[in-house]
Structure 1
């Protein structure tokens, strides 16, 4: 059953222009709710975050089981997928999944993917599997997917330290991956986009080569400090598209709840490991700006000089669209080479809708082109 039309932003004819008609139809018919009603998820006795993770896993299955043909089924046999780990600062073995093309052995570039999920979902390397198969098959580029630790089980800063630890290790040991350390890109969607941009800042601070940052629908601020979206700096899309079923300001605040919970429940997870952090990374001065700006108000980071080239991808009706565009403007103002692409008619989850919308499939092929550009030293 449809929700009342008045709850939807496209009830305004001027806003409706920003929506793909099929997306409106899917939302109004509430296909996801119908699917979950037909395939209930057993969440009895689970915590709030465990329930959420189970339901999200069901949603990703839903996109295939509803009969939408994702454009990678015939490509899976071209890819070798293996599991490994990279040791983090405290001895934790960060799981990684390595995607290699079976026949393309001449490529020497590598892309590191950080999954989305509000830093609380997406563990187990399940979010981006189909997309990474597609990208690897179409480009031949080796891809590493990173299973960084999540909130609320861990302090928020741990996610960023794990993400940077993987990049740093690969950059300093390129021979172990058969790559050229000057041809590394990082990227991810949503939380993964924010983590990727933060790795961009840290790579510069540590003087490690990074060719390209691909930030897809990234958040830009610490929304836990803003109970009212009107006080958010980059809030135009929040106000314009709030009420969109794909993402709302309430959803963003909901994920921030788990981020804050991870910090309050693990208050000493970072402070008790300062010696290990300094020993692993060779310095400790990066920790303060990381915690003060990069993991929170990334948009307000004080130093944008000398960053790697960026590709910022936004979605037309995503409430986080203004955050991505605002971050791109800060980069441009600091003379950082930037490409900005907006996925027309779609919202925050566009990159997992490749089997439904041609606009999403075209966006995935844009990602593939970026990876090829890194390989060919043709970055803008």
Structure 2
């Protein structure tokens, strides 16, 4: 046994790291500003000072490309650092789902331990990670609090990842998962007429695709919750240049994610790849939450605008101080907490 890989020691190390990060971000603002240096202002937006300090002290080197395995380890380890703590009243259980190729994926259900209503509204949630990384573990705390604060059941989907499972496998997994929940609502204790889809980044891409492709199903989504969604793989918007380096998600990493996910001959204007090219008429009402310091900012705004043009009830909010990863920051960063509350308020309306 390697001591450094012992689960108890890894858990203790994580707790210590989380405690250190928490203490740093809650230092008085003047001290944070002194550590951070001059404010970072781009395109009329000022980066949150706590985030600036975290980037300065713990951020990756610019334009760093890790391996697939390393990227997965990093996202699983970093995802919970600024997220909420474990919610004592939320319990989870796993359901297997057989998918193509003889494989099985996991659907993890989150709900309040004291819930009496066996006919709850539900969010089918897809984690981010560029279709290469992210997992049930990286977004576990996010899902706990979406269930608690959104007063709903959350069903997180452990869809298969690229490059081992490139497009269209993750999309097919997402569609299969949503339809399985909708067609087996009693099994999950949810109401098939009150389902939402949601996710962050690549998960937002998958949620948008699922919302489009299931809009004519017997039980279509009633809401799409799109956090920092990646919706257009055909081009790079101005925000790719404005926030190319230094804000967690970088342009070189986005290009690398796309190389892992789609083949050279894949049509990047296919709505299953880039939902911004899809038929948006009649899709579910959308809540689009965009970060100001995010390469994906402009395409998120463009997608919200296209939804509105198609007559879809759309709520767009740009959190100007936040970088791409802010859905995972709601435990400690104030503007991320505001955004999280905006998301759960939408879920409470299902």
Aligned partner of 2:146 among 120, 131, 135:
135
Unaligned runs of 5+ in 2: 1-37
Residue 92 of structure 2 corresponds to which residue in structure 1? Answer: 81
Matches within 5 A, 1:49-198: 49-60=68-79, 63=81, 70-73=83-86, 76-106=87-117, 108-123=120-135, 125-198=136-209
Residue 358 of structure 1 corresponds to which residue in structure 2? Answer: 334
Call closer, same or farther: CA 1:103–1:12 in 2, change over 3 Å. closer
Residue 17 of structure 2 corresponds to which residue in structure 1? Answer: none
Shift of 1:20: 1.2
Residue 300 of structure 1 corresponds to which residue in structure 2? Answer: 277
Higher helix proportion: 1
Does residue 17 of structure 1 match 2:42? no
Query: Which SS does the other structure have where 1:194 is aligned?
Result: helix
Deviations 1:36-91, CA, capped at 9 Å, x for gaps: xxxxxxxxxxx931122123333336x26xxxxx5444xx2211211111222444
Shift of 1:342: 1.7
Shift of 1:12: 7.1
Shift of 1:104: 2.1
Residue 261 of structure 2 corresponds to which residue in structure 1? Answer: 259
Residue 247 of structure 1 corresponds to which residue in structure 2? Answer: 249
Q: Assess if the C-alpha contact under 8 Å between 2:291 and 2:319 holds in 1.
A: yes
Query: Which SS does the other structure have where 1:304 is aligned?
Result: coil
Q: Distance in 2 between matches of 1:131 and 1:13?
A: 29
Call closer, same or farther: CA 1:21–1:96 in 2, change over 3 Å. same
Query: Which SS does the other structure have where 2:129 is aligned?
Result: coil
Shift of 1:212: 0.4
Shift of 1:209: 2.1
Deviations 1:297-346, CA, capped at 9 Å, x for gaps: 32122x22111111111011111010111001111111011111222301
Deviations 1:241-289, CA, capped at 9 Å, x for gaps: 22233222211101112113xx47xx9xxxxxxxxxxxxxxxxxxxx99
Q: Assess if the C-alpha contact under 8 Å between 1:131 and 1:364 holds in 2.
A: no
Superposition RMSD in Å: 2.6
Q: Structure 2 length normalisation: TM-score? A: 0.81
Residue 26 of structure 1 corresponds to which residue in structure 2? Answer: 54
Q: Distance in 1 between matches of 2:156 and 2:187?
A: 16
Q: Which moved more, 1:249-258 or 1:181-190?
A: 249-258
Q: Distance in 1 between matches of 2:223 and 2:346?
A: 9
Runs of 4+ in 1 over 3 A off after TM superposition: 10-17, 70-73, 205-208
Unaligned runs of 5+ in 1: 1-9, 35-46, 65-69, 227-231, 268-287, 375-380
Call closer, same or farther: CA 1:297–1:33 in 2, change over 3 Å. closer
Deviations 1:79-117, CA, capped at 9 Å, x for gaps: 121111122244422211111111122252111110000
Shift of 1:18: 2.8
Deviations 1:3-45, CA, capped at 9 Å, x for gaps: xxxxxxx987554733112222322x232459xxxxxxxxxxx
Shift of 1:293: 1.6
Call closer, same or farther: CA 1:13–1:95 in 2, change over 3 Å. closer
Aligned length: 309
Q: Assess if the C-alpha contact under 8 Å between 1:247 and 1:319 holds in 2.
A: yes
Higher strand proportion: 2
Residue 12 of structure 2 corresponds to which residue in structure 1? Answer: none
